[in-house]
Structure 1
Amino acid sequence: MKTLLQTAIALLVVLPLLSWADSISTERRSQQQNLMQTNKVQSAAVTQSYQSEVWFHSIDISLARDDNYNGYFHQLYVEFDADTEYSYHQVFAELSLTPDFGSERIYYTSSVFELFGESSNDWLGIETDLQHRYPANFYLLTIRIFDANTGYLLAEASGYDLSALDALTLEDYQRDQIQSSSSVEVSAGTTGVVALLTLCLLLFRRREQK
């Protein structure tokens, strides 16, 4: 009973924080080392700003959820496969968005994940729903990979290097809502005039009775 109470209290604390978060992200990754991925854009060499013993092998971007049909989406999916010159390397990734004439904002930092040499089965996918503070704009995406032990930057790719990561048409969920307007129609036809005359007649008779 005590455990259930503690869990309920934790949910009451966490859920409001999630609802006010600027973005909500979910990680996806390969669960089977022998599973071959076919939905990524493969490239022998992805142009990138910086690389060391780790580099990007492929990056796949997709946009979804344009609820108000204005051409700007609030859901962003980023999937990438990185390689390393080592047989095993623990890393984490950082993703950021930069609007036109604005400052860079880090919207997600991943958990630690493993790279296995040049395997294509150690990919990481991050699905993000932008919630607040992202007005409709063209955004530049930057992906950075850091060493999990030292925190050193190992690889970086952005819209400055790849056109697919530049000019992403995004806006947050709040701005992507369909605006509905209600109007009250006032009729000034024959029925409205008759009703008005009837009301005036009733008021006149009441005054005479008094």
Structure 2
Amino acid sequence: MRALILFTLLLANSFSFAATSVKQQAVTSDKATAQQSAQKIKKTSRHNVVWLDSLTTTSLLDEDNDGYSQDINFTFDFDTSYQQLTVYVDLMLVDEQRHTTKLTTSSDFALNSDSLADKQRFDITVDEHLLTGYYQLLINIYDANNHQLIDVVDYRNNQGLDDLRLEGHKYDHHDTFSLFNHFYNTSIDQDNDGYDQRVELTLDLDSLYGNQQLQANIRLDGRLLYASAPFTIYGSSTSDVQTFDLLVPSQFHGGTYALTAEITQVSSHHSEHTTTFDLGYVSVESDYNDQPIHTDVIIHDSGCMHWLFLFGAGAIAMLRRYLQK
């Protein structure tokens, strides 16, 4: 079933493209290494044209040391049943939900039978928004002359392509700041409908550093209410609380909104990072919508004219009856 899903994705060609950095280079071998090619165990693929004889992987970039890296480097040794064959490959990343992301299409490279001197290295730095998780690498191998798919290499017969622990830069970090406490108050309700115009918000943020510069975006249901100027917090001090006194702008109609604070570490010698804190719900509306509704009841009293109208109508009715006799 697992294989069927992968091939369904392959045939449908339903790939998304990530902002992933991939660098390709040929790996040169010394004479001693090249001589070892004669000692290789002969392998074949199901089509007996190209197969992956061996691979090595390395990862270097893991800022939070949790075992999930931002990069992965592959060195592939592809062999072929031909004396020489020029190919190129598509590298695809498959996540835990079997979604496939195309990483790159390589440049052409030549394979020389079962030589060790034709290895290819791909240095991959994943998209910064890639979710933390286990991934698999899927490789499509094409004949460079006619662009025909020769073979597919995946985790089923190459364990080095399975259980790749990856995460984007956004998730590969230590939290350097936290929300220690917060409170808010709403006020100004001119029409007494339960929706206020004003939000007073106080945030007490703490940092692992002696001082740290941050910036806050205050949002209602994800829509920007206010973007602050940069401000500085000092360790776990309580004297650096930030207070925001905000009036709700006209684009917000009366309603109950999720209040969030999106805190971004301003770029410095630390890596930039953003964390969103859920602060609760507020019932608010803009000044434009917060207006008392005045209903004027007008009573028309016609006085004696009303009676004159009734008397005239009666007289006309009696006159018509007399004329009919």
TM-score by length of 1: 0.68
Task: Give the counterpart letter for 1:131 in structure 2.
Answer: D
Report the more deviating stretch, 70-79 or 28-37. 28-37
Q: Secondary structure at the match of 1:164?
A: helix
Matched pairs, number: 163
The reply to whether residue 71 of structure 1 matches residue 123 of structure 2 is: no
Q: Give the drift of 1:184.
A: 4.2
| 1:186 corresponding residue in structure 2 | 238
Gaps of 5+ in 1: 1-20, 188-210
Mapped contact 2:96–2:134 kept (Cα < 8 A): yes
Task: Give the counterpart letter for 2:24 in structure 1.
Answer: E
d(CA) in 2 for partners of 1:134, 1:33: 37
Gaps of 5+ in 2: 1-17, 178-206, 208-234, 240-325
The reply to whether residue 131 of structure 1 matches residue 94 of structure 2 is: no
| 2:114 corresponding residue in structure 1 | 118
Residue by residue, what CA displacement relative to the aligned partner does 1:68-111 show, whole Å, maximum 9, x if unpaired? 12221111111111111222211001111111114111112110
| 1:84 corresponding residue in structure 2 | 80
Runs of 4 or more, structure 1, over 6 Å off, are none
The reply to whether residue 98 of structure 1 matches residue 88 of structure 2 is: no
d(CA) in 2 for partners of 1:148, 1:71: 37
Mapped contact 1:34–1:121 kept (Cα < 8 A): no
d(CA) in 2 for partners of 1:132, 1:47: 37
Give the direction of change, closer, same or farther, for the CA distance of 1:128–1:143 in structure 2 (3 Å limit): same
Residue by residue, what CA displacement relative to the aligned partner does 1:35-72 show, whole Å, maximum 9, x if unpaired? 727xxxx9736686x54311211122223311012221
The reply to whether residue 23 of structure 1 matches residue 20 of structure 2 is: yes
Q: Secondary structure at the match of 2:33?
A: coil
Q: Give the drift of 1:29.
A: 1.0
d(CA) in 2 for partners of 1:117, 1:56: 12
d(CA) in 2 for partners of 1:43, 1:185: 65
Q: Which has the higher contact order (CA 8 A, sep 6+)?
A: 1
d(CA) in 2 for partners of 1:172, 1:164: 20
Task: Give the counterpart letter for 1:36 in structure 2.
Answer: T
RMSD between aligned residues: 2.7
Q: Give the drift of 1:167.
A: 1.2
Residue by residue, what CA displacement relative to the aligned partner does 1:140-173 show, whole Å, maximum 9, x if unpaired? 1112211012111223221132332211110112
| 1:14 corresponding residue in structure 2 | none
The reply to whether residue 36 of structure 1 matches residue 33 of structure 2 is: yes
Give the direction of change, closer, same or farther, for the CA distance of 1:79–1:167 in structure 2 (3 Å limit): same
TM-score by length of 2: 0.45
Q: Give the drift of 1:32.
A: 5.9
Q: Return the structure number with greater helix share.
A: 1
Task: Give the counterpart letter for 1:129 in structure 2.
Answer: T
Task: Give the counterpart letter for 1:185 in structure 2.
Answer: S
Mapped contact 1:85–1:117 kept (Cα < 8 A): yes
Mapped contact 1:58–1:82 kept (Cα < 8 A): yes
Aligned pairs for 1:150-165 (under 5 A) are 150-165=146-161
Report the more deviating stretch, 84-93 or 23-32. 23-32
Task: Give the counterpart letter for 1:186 in structure 2.
Answer: T
Mapped contact 1:26–1:127 kept (Cα < 8 A): yes
Task: Give the counterpart letter for 2:110 in structure 1.
Answer: E
Determine which structure has more spread, i.e. the larger CA radius of gyration: 2
Give the direction of change, closer, same or farther, for the CA distance of 1:136–1:89 in structure 2 (3 Å limit): same
Give the direction of change, closer, same or farther, for the CA distance of 1:129–1:136 in structure 2 (3 Å limit): same
Task: Give the counterpart letter for 1:128 in structure 2.
Answer: I
Give the direction of change, closer, same or farther, for the CA distance of 1:47–1:132 in structure 2 (3 Å limit): farther
Residue by residue, what CA displacement relative to the aligned partner does 1:181-200 show, whole Å, maximum 9, x if unpaired? 1244238xxxxxxxxxxxxx
Sequence identity of aligned pairs in percent? 25
